[in-house]
């Protein structure tokens, strides 16, 4: 028994190997970061950092377009993963955290301080879920619902980050 991995995931009781081998689940689990037993959402947000750093090299228009694509494709990825796991919004599904963090960091001048602040703010809004995030999380179902609360958490974190750093 691993202290890092669960024995099985979801009501379908999938193994970590099954998740890593399935392209949809591999993406939904944030390239494997969502397999973590402890704090999979935080691990998924950590997995978003290299994606963010790569997107910084592309310019704002490309960053925005790729982020919008990640959100749009994420609706299907998260929906299909939830069905495969037989659990709506299973904690290991962290594609939504990746999208939310990218939204948080859009247009922010890079520094290690802004990266850390964006990480903390996004995790705070994603965990605490102030209104309307909590309402959305409870009332909007499917892949759209899985993505929506993290997109809104990313927007909230982005607004606070802009006031802080601009």
Interval 64-112: pLDDT, tens: 999 999 999 999 999 999 999 999 889 999 999 999 999 999 999 999 9
User: Model-level pTM?
Assistant: 0.94
Q: Find residue 36's DSSP bridge partners.
A: 5
CA neighbours closer than 13 Å in the CB half-sphere of residue 63: 18
State the average pLDDT over residues 52-59.
97
Average pLDDT, the chain: 94
User: Measured between alpha carbons, how far is residue 141 from residues 87, 108, 118 in Å?
Assistant: 11, 31, 27
The predicted structure's pLDDT at residue 41: 95
Interval 19-40: pLDDT, tens: 999 999 999 999 999 999 899 9
Closest CA to 119 of 142, 97, 137, 139: 97
State the average pLDDT over residues 143-152.
95
State the average pLDDT over residues 123-145.
93
pLDDT at residue 3 tops 70: no
The predicted structure's pLDDT at residue 53: 98
Q: Please state, in angstroms and rounded to a whole number, the distance separating the CA atoms of residues 33 and 125.
A: 20
> 33-46 as b/e, with b when 16 or more CB fall inside 10 Å?
bbbbeeebbbbbbb
The tokens of 129 are what? 């879920």
């Amino acid at each position: 028994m691993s202290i890092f991995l669960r024995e099985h995931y979801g009501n379908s009781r999938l193994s970590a190997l099954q998740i890593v081998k399935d392209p949809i689940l591999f993406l939904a689990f944030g390239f494997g970061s969502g397999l973590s037993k402890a704090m999979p959402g935080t691990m998924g947000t950590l997995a978003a950092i290299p994606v963010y750093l790569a997107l910084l090299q592309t310019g704002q228009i490309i960053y925005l377009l790729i982020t919008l694509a990640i959100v749009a494709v994420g609706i299907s990825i998260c929906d299909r993963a939830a069905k495969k796991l037989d659990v709506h919004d299973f904690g290991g599904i962290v594609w939504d955290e990746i999208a939310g963090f990218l939204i948080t960091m859009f247009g922010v001048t890079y520094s290690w301080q802004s990266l850390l602040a964006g990480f903390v703010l996004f995790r705070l809004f994603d965990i605490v879920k102030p209104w309307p995030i909590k309402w959305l999380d409870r009332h909007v179902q499917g892949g759209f619902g899985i993505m929506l609360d993290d997109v809104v958490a990313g927007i909230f974190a982005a607004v606070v980050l802009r006031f802080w750093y601009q």
